[in-house]
Structure 1
Amino acid sequence: MEAGGSKSVIFIAFACNLAIAIAKFLAAAWTLSSAMLSEAIHSLVDTSNQLLLLLGIRRANLPPDAQHPFGHGKEIYFWSFIVAMVLFSLGAGVAIYEGFEKVLHPQALQNVSVIYAVLAVAMLLEGYSTVQAVGEFNRRRRSTGQGFVTALRASKDPTLFAIVLEDLAAMTGLTIALFGTFAADFGGYYWADGVASILIGCVLAFVAIFMSSEIRSLIVGEAASRAVQTGIREIIETETGTDKPIRKINEIRTMHLGPQDILVTASVDFDNWVSARTVEDVTARLQTAIKSRYPEVHNLFIEVQSEQTFAASKKESHVQVVGSAAH
């Protein structure tokens, strides 16, 4: 359901941006507006980005194979990172370049009424896309009780927060273009059109840098949310304690392999009196309980390891890391 929600938001954004991009390019050619050209390039980049995100979703849904035993979930992170790079290099780069050209060589706008008409239509279409994207994002955010910015940074679904950020950047860019056009049209400040283009490029650059930073963390390997980690620990603790088969939880590790795909490994110390059959029964109960509560946990591995053995392995691992660093 979550992936379906993201995909529908992407389709809406794609349709809106494609229509807006065509209208903006026609208006830019007709009016010689640098800000409008920057906005047209922005919409074209957003349109191509939505295709890349759809490609990422398709690739991420490929089944596991011999070379990718845990599936292809991280494909979505890779393609989302490409989206951030395209947004920065093409969207921001071209907009800033065009802006400086217009500031250095200002010229009067032509057929300004066309610019206003296109900006009005673009704001309506982009506004609709933004409402849909932010609405889907808020629907997921409310379940966690997080603030908007906090939820953006904590989100594990780059396809959704990329669309949210792109739409918000688009609305900001349209507003800047409108003010730049007002200044050039009514104030006679023809260079304001170029300044608006530079500001639009800066907005795109900021969004691209923010996106790339967040997606980089997911590509490297980001843990599940604190709530999920706490919930998994609570489930394992039901089998832990006096007169319970598990003596101690040595360690629990989690990692997102995709927005709705979590890998979990847990090292637990069973009591000495526990039989092999009991270990199998307890492990099966824990697997069922954890996967029932958190369906996104697709891969769960419970390792039976004494506290002493676990401590020794951690110490040995630390020595190996230090030794490698010394070399």
Structure 2
Amino acid sequence: MAANGGTKAILAALFANAGIAVAKFVGFLITGSSSMLAESVHSVADTSNQGLLLLGQKTSLRKATKQHPFGFGRDRYFYSFIVALMLFTLGSAFALYEGIHKVQHPEELNSAIVAVVILVLAIALETYSFRTAIVESRKVKGDATWWGFIRQSRTPELPVVLLEDAGALFGLVFALMGVGLSVLTGEPIWDGIGTIMIGILLGVIAIILIIEMKSLLIGEGATAREHEIIVDELTGGRVERVIHIRTQYLGPDELLVAAKLALTPGLQTAEIASTIDEVEGRVRARVPAARLIYLEPDLDRGL
């Protein structure tokens, strides 16, 4: 569900941003607004980002090889990290540069009403994309807060699209404010200020995504709830306790579980094997992502 929902949200954002980018560039050529130019580059970056997310989903499905025995699931983390870098460089850095330049050298806007109309239409399209991301995210976020979902999700696409769409909506509002205040006050410097606000917003979002995607790329373990469930299912019956356990997500849908278990003394080899099989089945039934489970039987030495 998470993968399909992520794909649906990505495609909605892709088509929305592609159309918005064209409209914004036309608006910039007519008005000369720096806010429109910054938003145009922002939309182009977002469109490219959604393409990268789709590419990551595709390449992550490659079969495991001898060189990569655990497969390529982390491709989705890698491309999400690249998306965060692009948002920072193409979106934030360009907007800050253009905004500072326009504040230092203000230029009168031409046909500002064209920019307003385009921005209002862009807000409508971006709202549709954002709503799609919210609907799909609700299916997998459970009881977590939105901030908790962004921080704890092991599936990168939905948090990325959510933050991108939120940034796009606020960026459009800032652009609309910049253009509107420039017209109302007759001071084109407001257009530059709106552009700077867009740059700061994108920078903050990019830094959050860079931190989160870097953590996933390095390797994160099971969530606190998943860890609790796994330990509960590992114990009981012939398993006296879990001596130690390590978990790590090899991809959004594949969790590696390695644990040493203290078994009841005196078990025969067949009993040990059946106990391990039983425990693995219980864990997979409760945590489907736990596809790779390596369990080492041992005696409880009180360590």
Q: TM-score, normalised by structure 2?
A: 0.97
How is 1:221-260 mapped onto 2 (pairs within 5 angstroms)? 221-239=219-237, 245-260=238-253
Structure 1 or 2, whichever has the larger Rg, is 1
Q: What letter matches 1:215 in structure 2?
A: M
Superposed structure 1 runs of 4+ greater than 3 Å apart:
none
The question of 1:306 aligning with 2:287 is answered no
Cα pair 2:149 2:159 within 8 Å, conserved: no
The DSSP-based 3-state class of the residue aligned with 2:291 is strand
Q: For residue 304 of structure 1, report the CA deviation from its aligned partner.
A: 1.5
What letter is aligned with 1:164? L
2:58 is aligned with 1:58: yes
Question: Is residue 122 from structure 1 mapped to residue 122 from structure 2 by the alignment?
Answer: yes
2:79 matches 1:79: yes
Percent identity, aligned pairs only, is 35
Q: Secondary structure in 2 aligned to 1:96?
A: helix
Q: Give the superposition deviation at 1:307.
A: 4.2
Name the counterpart of 1:294. Answer: 287
User: CA separation in 2, counterparts of 1:191 and 1:247?
Assistant: 71
Summarize deviations over 1:162-193 as a string: whole Å, max 9, x none.
00000000000000011111110111121110
Matched, 1:44 2:44: yes
The match for 1:12 is 12
The one-letter amino acid of 1:234's match is D
Residue 209, structure 1, aligned to residue 230, structure 2: no
- TM value normalised by structure 1: 0.90
Post-superposition offset of 1:60: 1.1
Q: Tell me the amino acid that sits aligned with residue 250 of structure 1.
A: I
Return the alpha-carbon distance in structure 2 between the equivalents of residues 79 and 207 of structure 1: 16
Q: Secondary structure at the match of 2:258?
A: strand
2:254 is matched with which residue? 261
Asked if 1 retains the 8 angstrom alpha-carbon contact of 2:21 and 2:40, the reply is yes
> 2:156 maps to what in 1?
158
Q: Show the counterpart of 1:181.
A: 179
Measure how far apart 1:247 and its partner are: 3.1
SS state at 1:297 partner: coil
Q: Which amino acid aligns with 2:144?
A: Q
Q: CA deviation at 1:219?
A: 1.1
Q: Could you tell me which amino acid in structure 2 is paired with residue 274 of structure 1?
A: L
Cα shift at 1:272? 2.3
Range with bigger deviation, 203-212 or 283-292: 283-292
Alpha-carbon separation, structure 1, partners of 2:185 and 2:290: 59
- Please list the CA deviations of residues 279-311 of structure 1 after superposition, one character each: whole Å capped at 9, or x if unmatched: 000011111121122211110111113344x95
| Unpaired segments ≥5 residues, structure 1 | 240-244, 312-327
How many residues of Structure 1 are paired with residues of Structure 2 in the alignment? 303
RMSD: 1.2
Q: Distance in 2 between matches of 1:63 and 1:263?
A: 17
Q: Report the secondary structure of 2:103's partner residue.
A: helix
**SS of match in other structure, 2:68:** coil
CA shift, 1:214, in A, is 0.7
The corresponding residue for 1:199 is: 197
The answer to whether structure 1 residue 137 and structure 2 residue 167 are counterparts is no
Match of 1:22 in 2: 22
CA contact (8 A) 2:2 2:155 kept: no
Q: Secondary structure at the match of 2:154?
A: coil
Q: Deviations over 1:218-253 (max 9, x none)?
A: 1111111111111111111222xxxxx223310121
The whole-number CA distance in structure 2 between the counterparts of 1:138 and 1:203 is: 24
Measure, in 2, the Cα distance between the counterparts of 1:220 and 1:306: 33
